[in-house]
């Protein structure tokens, strides 16, 4: 039997800034759609007007575009199930809620918060299950009328079946939830607003979603959704319960769940630091999946070719910033030189670059770029690596100065200046000049070049010094050494 084409969805709520957990979910859904030749639906779950924002919606789409995670149906793309923003689908939900009530799958619950709380506390005290107790499940028409007459508000509750719910999680295997653990739950607020518990599975059904891949934090809502799905099938509003796969938790510092509020989890941070999308995605793919035991670095094409939900590991994954950086650095090295220069471009101008725009010299940058490419971890590192070329004066870095300009530095610099002034202007001759100066003062090259580096670039670390000086040119190099000597009082 040929199975139906895979249809997965990514359905974020537009609240706050996009975070890495969200990106991991989007990535796994995208990779599964691409691997199977299926479709990825992007749906915006914006039914909570108090928390959702247009700004967050715009950021989400922008983030997905930047990452290269394209969708086949959804906002800006359209599709047969439009609209794809839940705020524009309210009539549909109202209609489904009516049908569920008419068929007895849902009912009006008139309990007040105080009543619910009091009964829950009593149940707890007696050691009974403390979820909703089914008080309004089978109200008679008279009882309902009496509550209405009292002017009580009511929510709509879904009636859970009396049998256990079992499903096979694609990551965790077979799971069973007993009725005591999954009480009847609200699907429409007293003010008529439909809740996530309703709109999410209803849209999955109406949009023909075959696989629900999402974070483990949503596992507890799955038995409810399976039951709701079964009701929708009975009403001919759905055809089949989708498969569910819950992606493992991502743990941050101190082995605590990485939270949205964790600064490390903000996608914007990675963009602003100059992660490559493919570097970040490569890292995030490892949070619960791997290409093979001995390969951490791969392209998205390679991930797509290999990705299967069955290979996702259910154990919590640890978010490791250092590893993310190392993987990104590897992706930077893999760029061809032109692509690297292009990727650097935004960091070579305001507001990132500290130099006057007219000082920027593309030819000098292109000459240094290959040296920088093997050294930067994130693209924003490029600025500090090349600023000595484009600033009128080298940066003033107190720590570097203190480290390199120890007693004796002035004598070394004086000798080095004289030799540099006479050297042929090539990296090789410049190196010999500093080497010779060092010998006169009993210093190895590393020690001898430190004051020269700080005098000319402002920093103790940077690109290979003699190639840098070759580009900086004789006049500027000597002028900077002179300025350092003056500062040293020599």
Residues that bind Zn ion (CB under 5 A): 109, 111, 135-136
Pairing outcome for strands 173-177 and 165-169: antiparallel
Q: Which class for 350: exposed (0-12), middle (13-18), buried (19 or more C-beta within 10 A)?
A: exposed
Nearer to Zn ion, 35 or 135 (CB): 135
**Cα 314–Cα 160–Cα 169 angle in degrees, nearest 5:** 15
Which of Zn ion, ligand GLU, none interacts with 200 (beta carbon under 5 to 8 A by kind)?
A: ligand GLU
Alpha helices (H) along 317-381: 321-334, 337-344, 362-373
Measured CA distances, 345 to 267, 274, 350, 362 (Å): 20, 11, 10, 10
Q: What's the closest the beta carbon of residue 225 comes to ligand GLU, in angstroms? A: 8
Nearer to ligand GLU, 15 or 181 (CB): 15
The two tokens of residue 56 are 């967050």
Q: What's the closest the beta carbon of residue 352 comes to Zn ion, in angstroms? A: 58
Which of Zn ion, ligand GLU, none interacts with 137 (beta carbon under 5 to 8 A by kind)?
A: none
Which of ligand GLU, Zn ion, none interacts with 451 (beta carbon under 5 to 8 A by kind)?
A: none
Comparing C-alpha atoms, which of 5, 22, 32, 20 is closest to residue 304? 32
Nearer to ligand GLU, 60 or 481 (CB): 60
Which of Zn ion, ligand GLU, none interacts with 109 (beta carbon under 5 to 8 A by kind)?
A: Zn ion
Q: What's the closest the beta carbon of residue 200 comes to ligand GLU, in angstroms? A: 5
Taking the C-alpha atoms of residue 173 and residue 234, their distance in angstroms, rounded to an integer, is 26
User: For residues 29 and 231, is the Cβ–Cβ distance under 8 A?
Assistant: no
Nearer to Zn ion, 61 or 198 (CB): 198
Q: What's the closest the beta carbon of residue 264 comes to ligand GLU, in angstroms? A: 19
DSSP secondary structure of 174-188: EEEE-GGGS--EEEE
- Provide the sign of the torsion angle of the four alpha carbons 249, 254, 259, 264, taken in this order: negative
Q: What's the closest the beta carbon of residue 191 comes to ligand GLU, in angstroms? A: 20
Which of Zn ion, ligand GLU, none interacts with 213 (beta carbon under 5 to 8 A by kind)?
A: none
Three-class secondary structure of residue 74 per DSSP:
strand
Which of ligand GLU, Zn ion, none interacts with 45 (beta carbon under 5 to 8 A by kind)?
A: ligand GLU
Taking the C-alpha atoms of residue 10 and residue 34, their distance in angstroms, rounded to an integer, is 14
Q: What's the closest the beta carbon of residue 118 comes to Zn ion, in angstroms? A: 12
The residues that touch ligand GLU, with contacts defined as CB under 6 A, are 11-13, 45, 200, 214, 218
Nearer to Zn ion, 109 or 376 (CB): 109
Taking the C-alpha atoms of residue 129 and residue 405, their distance in angstroms, rounded to an integer, is 72
**Cα 480–Cα 481–Cα 487 angle in degrees, nearest 5:** 90
Residues with a known catalytic role:
260
Nearer to ligand GLU, 218 or 427 (CB): 218
Q: What's the closest the beta carbon of residue 199 comes to ligand GLU, in angstroms? A: 9
Which of ligand GLU, Zn ion, none interacts with 135 (beta carbon under 5 to 8 A by kind)?
A: Zn ion
DSSP state of 235: T
Residue with tokens 């000049």: 433
Nearer to Zn ion, 33 or 111 (CB): 111
Measured CA distances, 330 to 239, 279, 362, 373 (Å): 46, 8, 25, 10
The two tokens of residue 276 are 């490559």
């Amino acid at each position: 039997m040929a199975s139906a084409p895979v249809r997965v969805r990514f359905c974020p709520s537009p609240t706050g800034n996009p975070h890495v957990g969200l990106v991991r979910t989007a990535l796994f859904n995208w990779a599964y759609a691409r691997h199977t030749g299926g479709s990825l639906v992007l749906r915006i779950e914006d039914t909570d007007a108090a928390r959702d924002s247009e700004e967050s919606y715009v950021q989400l789409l922008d983030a997905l575009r930047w990452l290269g995670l394209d969708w086949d149906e959804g906002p800006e793309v359209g599709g047969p199930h439009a609209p794809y923003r839940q705020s524009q689908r309210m009539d549909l939900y109202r209609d489904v809620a009516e049908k569920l009530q008419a068929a007895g799958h849902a009912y009006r619950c008139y309990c007040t918060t105080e009543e619910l709380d009091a009964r829950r506390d009593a149940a707890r005290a007696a050691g009974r299950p403390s979820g909703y107790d089914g008080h309004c499940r089978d109200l008679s028409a008279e009882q309902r009328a009496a509550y209405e007459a009292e002017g009580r508000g009511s929510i709509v509750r879904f009636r859970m079946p009396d049998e256990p719910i079992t499903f096979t999680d694609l990551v965790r295997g077979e799971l069973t939830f007993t009725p005591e653990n999954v009480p009847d739950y609200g699907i429409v607020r007293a003010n008529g607003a439909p809740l996530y518990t309703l709109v999410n599975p209803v849209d999955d059904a109406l949009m023909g979603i075959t696989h629900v891949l999402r974070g483990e934090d949503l596992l507890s809502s799955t038995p409810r959704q399976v039951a709701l799905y079964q009701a929708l099938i009975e009403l001919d509003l759905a055809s089949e319960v989708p498969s569910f796969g819950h992606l493992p938790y991502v743990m941050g510092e101190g082995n605590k769940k990485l939270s949205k509020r964790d600064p490390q989890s903000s996608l914007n941070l990675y963009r602003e630091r100059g992660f490559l999308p493919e570097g970040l995605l490569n890292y995030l793919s490892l949070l619960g999946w791997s290409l093979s035991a001995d390969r951490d670095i791969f392209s998205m094409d390679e991930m797509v070719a290999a990705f299967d939900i069955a290979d996702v590991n259910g154990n919590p994954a640890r978010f490791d910033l250092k590893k993310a950086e190392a993987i990104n650095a590897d992706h930077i090295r893999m760029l061809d030189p032109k692509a690297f220069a292009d990727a650097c471009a935004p960091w070579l101008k305001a507001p990132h670059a500290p130099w006057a725009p007219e000082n920027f010299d593309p030819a000098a940058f292109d000459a240094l770029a290959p040296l920088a490419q093997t050294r930067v971890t994130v693209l924003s590192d490029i600025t500090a690596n090349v600023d000595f070329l484009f600033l009128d004066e080298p940066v003033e870095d107190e720590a570097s100065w203190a480290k390199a300009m120890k007693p004796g530095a002035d004598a070394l610099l004086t000798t080095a200046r004289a030799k540099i002034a006479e050297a042929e202007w090539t990296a090789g001759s410049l190196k010999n000049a500093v080497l010779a100066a060092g010998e006169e003062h009993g210093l190895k090259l590393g020690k001898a070049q430190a004051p020269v580096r700080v005098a000319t670039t402002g920093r103790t670390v940077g690109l290979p010094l003699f190639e840098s000086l070759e580009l900086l040119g004789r006049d500027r190099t000597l002028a900077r050494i002179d300025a350092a000597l003056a500062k040293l009082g020599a």
